[in-house]
Structure 1
């Protein structure tokens, strides 16, 4: 008897009321009238306030008020929604909808209180001294249970609608920031994860390159080689850590604005390439020392880099300032001392741009075992769509007395156990006599070293005597590169202190000077012969990956080391030189 037909349509509760049934009738009327007036005055103003704060962007049209401050548009929308409920004409259909949203409102308030307490937010200071977060949790649980008891399909619909509104606000971004409990929860989870990561070094099975990209800036404080960031993104395939850092030379107090502008440039570059990473710029009196500090201290806790990406010092041959390559060498040594892996891309401007798809081969010249990093890098690169269509070829070098057939079988077995598909080839290097070309290249190298030393001495004398000189280093044909042009360093009007060095001069000096150093000749011979094989086999490869030799321990061989690297990579468009960290990064079980 839902509608009271047995008692003539009267209220059953009214019949039971004392002293008269009109007590219930009047009370229900006054309660309904009060709730209606409250909704009439409160709902439109609340709606207008939400629209004015631009929390939900598409409701901005309802933020307008009249000259008396009345939310007229919000009032019209409220009246329209109310009229729809009246037209339904059945309270049993309307009540579940209203119940869901009221229960959701109370549930979210309880959830916010519980989160604020659990996260120990400083601005959460409840006045009720007997409050405990379990009370809020119980209230949230009861609200959810009552929602599903009332109507499970209406409950699911209301939850889905609330989730869509939240994601819309998160996507569009509210102009007013009122705080976010989820953000506090994320910070707490991040702190917990960092403490877990700090427990110890990762196992070989969990090793992956966490990259620190050392970016060089130009005079306008813009990234000089932006494709280094793109290459790091391709290597990571969107996973792991990417830090893009740089160092400015000078005093912190003087260059702090420049550092902030540079940091913004790096952030814009990261966003432009869609890289998930962080950027920062440091200031140091000495660039080498600043880079060393970054290698030591970049990252946070267990979330630190284990691989450094360092740009090649293009144009170092034509720069009389020895700092152009000494910063590079010092950084290479510091990375090795920190037991981190090092990646040096050469010809970075020729690397594939964003959206391009390379087709061909990735050739790995495996000369020194470095813990498997040379095997792992091409596999990671091929996970990115840019390098996905490339096939992998692995070359190893053998002497004439080595068993090349057995070496090839062993390497194929090793790759099979690593579950890496690649073509294997063994290149034999014969112990042939050192050619005249090798002597000439060695002599050119030593002559250039002597010439630059004289230039620096002359510059020192000129500064002390007040004179100036114009220094011109002519381009050597074997040293041409697509990444730099000839460099001239004007320092005032030219005088007799002018030095010019060309390969033709070297040929004239062969008979006049003493023979080149035997150790330099031996190293140059190895570099020339190996370069001949690499160019012969990999001249058409999309990328050549090879070992980066160990840097010299003394400063005397710095320029010779750079020359060896130039000879080793001569004639190759894209090269990635790799130096491992000294630990295994891939095993047959990982």
Structure 2
């Protein structure tokens, strides 16, 4: 006979196996709810995902053939390398790099390319470390930063990344329209300049109209189906690769056979080519020499003898030079250094002869002039978008066969390839004299081989494809942020079509991109998205640096070639490039990110992603606590660290919430606040601790008390209070002051537990050498929303020094509730004292303490003070004598004292000393002392308190506060 076992997979035992699990595993039902079985746990880990469906999965969900999701099968080449190439190579490479080289020169343009590529390379190293630290969900930089630095940083930088991607779509569309209107079909322009002096206003309007139309068409394509965008992705990538290859082929060809690219010069000034047909002042027609179109442009008459011509035109010759002389011509020496120009400045070639004669302002429109003012910082901001796009591989991590291997290799190789291409492209374009379109042809297109149309058409389709990719990715990034529910006003953008397509997010993306289209200038939009991408890369480096320095146990990236110094260097470069590009754009971008951060922090992000900022706070707190352990605090650094003892009712609600109000009004001390309470019962059987802690925390939030909550379960309340007084706090962050309420109705109550608990707390506080504050009439304390227009805070300074006694009203006056109240200090003088001099001395003392208060001296008879001082002195003498006789050490005396606090006798008397050494404070003595108070003292005190709002007095370490319920 073979026993049935739940571990044997046989069909006969299937039903019995189920019964076995039902009966035997029922013992572990509660544990299985928390900890799933190993098999199901491994299955969930393998299929783990933390994002919404991507564009590809959306289209698969719409298809009937996609009933089962295909497993990821993309490798490094198709999944990371080529997508990064397609995103990095873009409109700046084809339209602006030759202009940047021609303006900045070889040296500075090489520095610009090196700075931007180094920044992205360092960022890629940090990103690779984060991406290989476990399973990385799709979503790019947003998920990396949010899961590494927390929801506040993640939301702020995620929105910046979204805005950067959206403005990138606008930049690509503007680039496509510029290629279309300038180099493909110039006749399609709707607006035309009225004359040559009209400037570029007509062109900007054309860009706005055609850009809006193009954006609308692209948004419709993305809305109808992303599968059409994915189908054309390979075509767009092929256009990019073919265009780059043709440029390098043309550069090699120019060494042996430079292309024809004539430039007409008047003196050393460059002329606009499309305003004339022949580069000369005259033209020969048959046997006659007649003025050319250039003559007509610069002269008022065709008759050379009587014409009034421009002075510069008359004194300078017209020459035609080769625009692309080739690498072998040695032109690279002339282009080593930059020549930055102001807006409207004429483009000149310094090596040509020129007669320096001021020409007429009316003829300036015939020269090629600068459209914008150029500088090194502006060129950095314009070029940097051509180095972005390194997140394309991490965005596809869900489709990769081995993301932890493919992302680092593919991204770093792609950045290396594009960096070499840009550097070689910059060097290869130095054989161009003027890096601008001084004719109707695209300069880089003229350099390409076999035909300029390869570059024109290829660059057009590549920019259109990049724009479509941006319009596809930006809405999904916004949808991911909205679905994380960390920014409340973005919740609506988390919804979309039935298959999850982000319809509302696409609409918002289109509206924001339209703002970039309305700017209508590629050179103005590029620095804007540079700021947002640099902000994103900065925090990627910060996330890697923080995780590396914290050395958290879960930080184990498979990518080993990273270091915190490299991350900090990358972060510093990002910050430097932000302010180099445009300091005011950098401030605006940081301001936007800061406002989003504070908004998420204010709303209270409920996400717990195990972020590094929390770990950084933990490390900083640990370091600070270890430093605080070095020694006791200096007097200048002393501040009240409060332990507020609260009483809970039967429903575990705070019985006197005004105790927390009082604690919050002392927050000007910037000290520690611990709110403690005791639940009577057995810890192993009591389940009310969690509920009580939640109730106390909610009340602390309502009363705006920033501190910690500690709820203790004890068999007796006095034992719990003793535990709180002894054990609350950590290291140097321990309480030095206990706050508890005055026992109500203890005179009339027959139950002695109220006053015994109070006396026990006083004794525990005294034994722990802590200060004790006892507010009376705490239910009448003003709330944080009330304001006193007048009133007094009275301090009665009797016998003891008034250090903390004067600090408390000062801290209260910092709060808006007590700010308009005045402070009065009453000190006691004997009949033979000089009251006038005492008042002056006290006023001087307050002045030196920088406290503003009224000083009053109250004269009392010697008998009123001597009884108290005599008894206190006698107590100290008897205690010293008793300790000598019993030869008790301080430690044994402390143990004896604390042992009495944990006595099981409920009716135990409060004396702990032997009967023969009892103190003289008997009940008869106390009653006699009460009767000995003079009527004069009572009358003075009552007279002053009639105008008082808050009354403070002190006895040893005991601070008594009484609130008088006066109209506000």
Give the alignment's TM-score, normalised by structure 2: 0.45
Structure 1 residue 425 corresponds to structure 2 residue 832: no
Instruction: Give the number of the structure with larger relative contact order, counting CA–CA contacts within 8 Å between residues 6 or more apart.
Output: 2
Contact conserved, 1:248 with 1:287, CA < 8 A, in 2?
yes
1:67 counterpart (498, 508, 512): 498
Q: Please report how far the alpha carbon of residue 536 of structure 1 lies from its aligned counterpart in structure 2 after TM superposition.
A: 4.2
Q: Please report how far the alpha carbon of residue 393 of structure 1 lies from its aligned counterpart in structure 2 after TM superposition.
A: 2.8
Q: CA deviation digits over 1:83-114, x for unaligned, max 9?
A: 55556543223322333333333232222212
Q: Please report how far the alpha carbon of residue 132 of structure 1 lies from its aligned counterpart in structure 2 after TM superposition.
A: 0.9
1:322 counterpart (742, 752, 761): 752
Contact conserved, 2:770 with 2:957, CA < 8 A, in 1?
no
Separation in 2, partners of 1:337, 1:22? 92
1:194 counterpart (606, 614, 625): 625
Aligned 1:132-531 pairs, distance under 5 A? 132-174=563-605, 176-237=607-668, 239-257=670-688, 259-354=689-784, 355-357=786-788, 359-370=790-801, 372-400=803-831, 402=833, 404-405=835-836, 407-420=838-851, 421-429=853-861, 431=863, 519-527=925-933, 530-531=937-938
Q: Please report how far the alpha carbon of residue 66 of structure 1 lies from its aligned counterpart in structure 2 after TM superposition.
A: 1.9
Contact conserved, 2:787 with 2:817, CA < 8 A, in 1?
yes
Separation in 2, partners of 1:520, 1:77? 79
Contact conserved, 1:366 with 1:546, CA < 8 A, in 2?
yes
Q: Please report how far the alpha carbon of residue 323 of structure 1 lies from its aligned counterpart in structure 2 after TM superposition.
A: 1.9
1:534 counterpart (941, 945, 951): 941
Q: Please report how far the alpha carbon of residue 532 of structure 1 lies from its aligned counterpart in structure 2 after TM superposition.
A: 4.9
The equivalent residue for 1:28 is 459
Separation in 2, partners of 1:177, 1:140? 25
Separation in 2, partners of 1:46, 1:382? 49
Aligned 1:541-552 pairs, distance under 5 A? 541-548=948-955
Q: CA deviation digits over 1:22-42, x for unaligned, max 9?
A: 554465345334423432433
Out of 275-284 and 404-413, give the one that drifted further.
404-413
Separation in 1, partners of 2:587, 2:778? 53
Contact conserved, 1:357 with 1:389, CA < 8 A, in 2?
yes
Out of 325-334 and 343-352, give the one that drifted further.
343-352
Separation in 2, partners of 1:347, 1:284? 28
Contact conserved, 1:194 with 1:302, CA < 8 A, in 2?
yes
Q: Please report how far the alpha carbon of residue 336 of structure 1 lies from its aligned counterpart in structure 2 after TM superposition.
A: 1.2
Aligned 1:562-573 pairs, distance under 5 A? none
Quick one: structure 1 residues 156 and 222, their matched pair in 2 at CA, closer, same or farther if it must change by over 3 Å?
closer
Q: CA deviation digits over 1:178-200, x for unaligned, max 9?
A: 45443333333333333332222
Separation in 1, partners of 2:536, 2:633? 45
Q: CA deviation digits over 1:431-480, x for unaligned, max 9?
A: 59xxxxxxxxxxxxxxxxxxxxxxxxxx99xxxxxxxxxxxxxxxxxxxx
Separation in 2, partners of 1:573, 1:87? 65
Q: Which SS does the other structure have where 1:214 is aligned?
A: strand
- Looking at secondary structure, tell me which structure has more helix per residue: 2
Between structure 1 and structure 2, the one with the greater Rg is: 2
Out of 141-150 and 171-180, give the one that drifted further.
171-180
Q: Please report how far the alpha carbon of residue 158 of structure 1 lies from its aligned counterpart in structure 2 after TM superposition.
A: 2.6
Q: Which SS does the other structure have where 2:551 is aligned?
A: coil
Q: Please report how far the alpha carbon of residue 395 of structure 1 lies from its aligned counterpart in structure 2 after TM superposition.
A: 2.7
The equivalent residue for 1:97 is 528
Q: Which SS does the other structure have where 2:675 is aligned?
A: strand
Contact conserved, 1:209 with 1:236, CA < 8 A, in 2?
no
Separation in 1, partners of 2:643, 2:550? 32
Contact conserved, 1:412 with 1:424, CA < 8 A, in 2?
no
Out of 27-36 and 383-392, give the one that drifted further.
27-36
Separation in 2, partners of 1:528, 1:426? 13
Separation in 2, partners of 1:388, 1:86? 54
Quick one: structure 1 residues 176 and 271, their matched pair in 2 at CA, closer, same or farther if it must change by over 3 Å?
closer
Quick one: structure 1 residues 29 and 236, their matched pair in 2 at CA, closer, same or farther if it must change by over 3 Å?
closer
Contact conserved, 1:352 with 1:358, CA < 8 A, in 2?
no
Contact conserved, 2:736 with 2:770, CA < 8 A, in 1?
yes
Q: CA deviation digits over 1:217-272, x for unaligned, max 9?
A: 22232222222222222233373222221111111123232x22222222222222
Quick one: structure 1 residues 531 and 346, their matched pair in 2 at CA, closer, same or farther if it must change by over 3 Å?
farther
Quick one: structure 1 residues 298 and 404, their matched pair in 2 at CA, closer, same or farther if it must change by over 3 Å?
same
Quick one: structure 1 residues 35 and 353, their matched pair in 2 at CA, closer, same or farther if it must change by over 3 Å?
closer
Q: Which SS does the other structure have where 2:819 is aligned?
A: coil
Q: Please report how far the alpha carbon of residue 382 of structure 1 lies from its aligned counterpart in structure 2 after TM superposition.
A: 2.4
Q: Please report how far the alpha carbon of residue 329 of structure 1 lies from its aligned counterpart in structure 2 after TM superposition.
A: 0.9
User: Aligned pair count?
Assistant: 476
Quick one: structure 1 residues 538 and 296, their matched pair in 2 at CA, closer, same or farther if it must change by over 3 Å?
same
Contact conserved, 2:548 with 2:564, CA < 8 A, in 1?
yes
The equivalent residue for 1:442 is none
The equivalent residue for 2:36 is none
Separation in 2, partners of 1:428, 1:127? 81
Q: CA deviation digits over 1:154-183, x for unaligned, max 9?
A: 333333223333333333344554454433
Q: Please report how far the alpha carbon of residue 409 of structure 1 lies from its aligned counterpart in structure 2 after TM superposition.
A: 4.6
Contact conserved, 1:361 with 1:543, CA < 8 A, in 2?
yes
Quick one: structure 1 residues 229 and 102, their matched pair in 2 at CA, closer, same or farther if it must change by over 3 Å?
closer
Contact conserved, 1:43 with 1:78, CA < 8 A, in 2?
yes
Quick one: structure 1 residues 262 and 143, their matched pair in 2 at CA, closer, same or farther if it must change by over 3 Å?
same
Q: Which SS does the other structure have where 2:725 is aligned?
A: helix
Give the alignment's TM-score, normalised by structure 1: 0.71
Q: Which SS does the other structure have where 2:713 is aligned?
A: strand
Quick one: structure 1 residues 328 and 119, their matched pair in 2 at CA, closer, same or farther if it must change by over 3 Å?
same
Contact conserved, 1:238 with 1:276, CA < 8 A, in 2?
no
Contact conserved, 1:407 with 1:426, CA < 8 A, in 2?
no
Q: Which SS does the other structure have where 1:289 is aligned?
A: helix
Q: Please report how far the alpha carbon of residue 296 of structure 1 lies from its aligned counterpart in structure 2 after TM superposition.
A: 1.4
Contact conserved, 2:712 with 2:720, CA < 8 A, in 1?
yes
Quick one: structure 1 residues 274 and 77, their matched pair in 2 at CA, closer, same or farther if it must change by over 3 Å?
closer
Aligned 1:80-119 pairs, distance under 5 A? 80-82=511-513, 85=516, 88-119=519-550
In structure 2, stretches of 5+ residues that fail to align are: 1-97, 100-181, 183-260, 264-322, 324-438, 865-905, 908-921
The equivalent residue for 1:439 is none
Contact conserved, 1:345 with 1:574, CA < 8 A, in 2?
no
The equivalent residue for 1:456 is none
Separation in 2, partners of 1:430, 1:150? 80
Q: Which SS does the other structure have where 1:547 is aligned?
A: strand
Q: Which SS does the other structure have where 2:747 is aligned?
A: helix
Q: Please report how far the alpha carbon of residue 123 of structure 1 lies from its aligned counterpart in structure 2 after TM superposition.
A: 3.4
In structure 1, stretches of 5+ residues that fail to align are: 433-458, 461-515, 552-564, 576-590
Contact conserved, 1:53 with 1:175, CA < 8 A, in 2?
no
Contact conserved, 2:482 with 2:490, CA < 8 A, in 1?
yes
Q: Which SS does the other structure have where 2:686 is aligned?
A: helix
